[in-house]
Every structure is written in C-alpha cells, then in structure tokens.
Amino acid sequence: MNILFAGDVMLGRLVNQKLKLIPPEFPWGSALPVFSEADCRIINLECVISDKGRPWSATPKVFHFRSDLKNIEALKVAGIDAVSTANNHSLDYEYDALFEMLAALERAGIRHAGAGRNLEEAREPAVLEIKGKKAAFIAFTDNEPAWAAKEHKPGVHFVPVDAGDPRAKRLFDIVAAAEKASDMVIVSAHWGPNWGREPVPGHVPFAHRLIDCGAQIVFGHSCHVFQGVEFYRGGVIIYSAGDFIDDYAVDEVEKNDESFLFIASANGRVRSLALCPTVIEGFHADMAPFSRAGLIAAKMRSLSAGFGTRSEWDAVAARLRLYPGE
C-alpha cells in the first residue's frame, strides 16, 4: 500500500481569503495530481475549519488560524482520508469551532485523531481501511499544555516528549493495543520548536520507542522546515514534514516554503519512501520547479544520511527515493 503524507496545511488567513473567491482545488496547486497516486492521504490540519467561535483568549496566544466551514471541500477534492487535529491551532477559536469542525469532518467521511470532546475521544485512534488492511491513526502534541483534554473537558491529546511521564506511558500503551488490533499503526506527532534542521535530541529515542511499541510510521510536524528521515526496525520516522500550505513570511535562510509529499510504500514493514519536492507559492502548494527540486532533495539526502538512510534522486521523475540502510 502507498500512504501519502503532507505536513502542516494551514487554510486560514490569506489562504481563506483566496478560497472565498476561487475553487477548493486552489490550495493544492500543481501538487494535486500526486494525491491520486496514493491509496491513503494524511495531513496535519494546522487550523480550525469553522464559521463559529472567537479567538482563544484564556491563555496568551499570538496567532489564530480559522478557515470557513465550506473549505472542508478543499480537503475532499484532494481525497484527504485523515487529519491530525492534535496541534496548537485546533482550538484557536475555542470549543464551539472545534466541535463544528469535528462534526463536519465526520460528515465528509474524513477521519480525525488528536482532539475531542474529552480525553478518551482525543486519544482514540482513527481507523482507516487501506486496500483491505486496517490502519490505526493516533495523534498527539507537546504544544499548548493549557489545551490538554481531560476526562470531562474538551481539548487535544497532549503528551510531553518524556518517556517517563505517565501521559507518554499511556500513549505507548495505546500504540501497543492498536498494533494488536490492526495491520498498521501510524502515529502523528506535532512536536518541538518552530525551527531547526535537526530533531530535538529527545525526539529520536521517543520515536524509536513508538516503533518499538508497534508503530510502523511516525509522522512528525510542527517545525516550519523539514528534517531528516530515519528507517528503524521495519518502520520509518519523518521527524518533521515541514510546512505544506500557508501564508507565512519566508525565511531566506531556513526556506520554510520548501517541503515534500511523502509517499510510504508499506506491506507490514515500510520498504521505502518516495519524496516529491514542493514549494509554497502564492498561498498554495506547487511541485518544485526542476532547477529547485534537486536542491531541495539534496538537503533531505544530507539530513537523512545522518540516520544511515540510503537515497536515490530520480531527476527524470523529480523524486527522491529513501531506503533503509544496509
């Protein structure tokens, strides 16, 4: 099976203004056809999609991202199968907006994980059917501790990246239980700081622990730039997928407008990962032009080589292929 991942998808602010006037295909740009190549498509939804709510004010927060409720259609045209809602923007417009979005996703047949009406719901894996196989999708974040869901309080699945913390131990138990009940386990991790090409040191052993407990894919995001990819014990770790769609200012050094579509080829074990270089241009994603695609891929090759990952750049197809080290 082929499973496609895209990093942070932010449909608010200026992207939302564009979507008031033009079709829902707009945010995906020339990258849209690639989505149809996969058997399943998963993103981190870095905003709330709702017409309700008011900006979160209970604790300090600078940025609030909301997209009109009708923009659920933007997810549908790309065939998005599941979204992570465990991040630092799903409660930007308080609980009413979150509830409206979750209901809209459910009506659209888009699975979601990582936020809910209570802790049990926020922790609950989304179940995906992929080519006759059952996949469990679990999402957590170490951002916004004030948003942590409780037994009788809505919020996100908040988990500190500390293997000794009781919330982390509970996450490991959830992964282990999901592994017994499904053919594949995918864990979405919205973690760490906004910048940096290297994973936070604690992320590496934590990701390894998730795979040791039964995950096959760890899908990391939150950092505005992509980080290296590691193959570990039959699984794969995308430490940061970077930004995929947004209206952010571009740092000329960090190049937060560069990312990939990550397509994992899996059959019990993850055999390889195909990466299609992308750029953000005019508030939408595009396939990177040929002259730039090779440079973006070269960065990822260098970052991933530090994890022992083998790579091949296919200049004709403009795809970077990653494999476990020998």
For 23, residues 6+ apart whose C-beta sits below 8 A from its C-beta are: 77
The single-letter code of the amino acid at 42 is I
CB atoms within 10 A of CB 286: 16
CATH of domain 2-323: 3.60.21
Half-sphere exposure at residue 12, Cβ-oriented, CA atoms within 13 angstroms: 19
Kindly report the pTM of this predicted structure.
Answer: 0.98
Torsion of CA 317, 237, 48, 143, to 10 degrees: -140
Rounded to the nearest 5 degrees, what angle is found at the Cα of 213, between the Cα atoms of 125 and 115? 25
Question: What pLDDT was estimated at residue 268?
Answer: 81
Q: What is the pLDDT of residue 120?
A: 98
The pLDDT value given to residue 285: 98
Per-residue pLDDT at 289: 97
Mean pLDDT by 10 residues, the chain (326 residues): 98 98 98 98 98 96 97 98 98 98 98 98 98 97 98 98 98 98 98 97 97 98 98 97 98 97 93 97 97 97 98 97 92
The pLDDT value given to residue 90: 98
SS3 content of the chain, % helix, strand, coil (to 5): 30, 35, 40
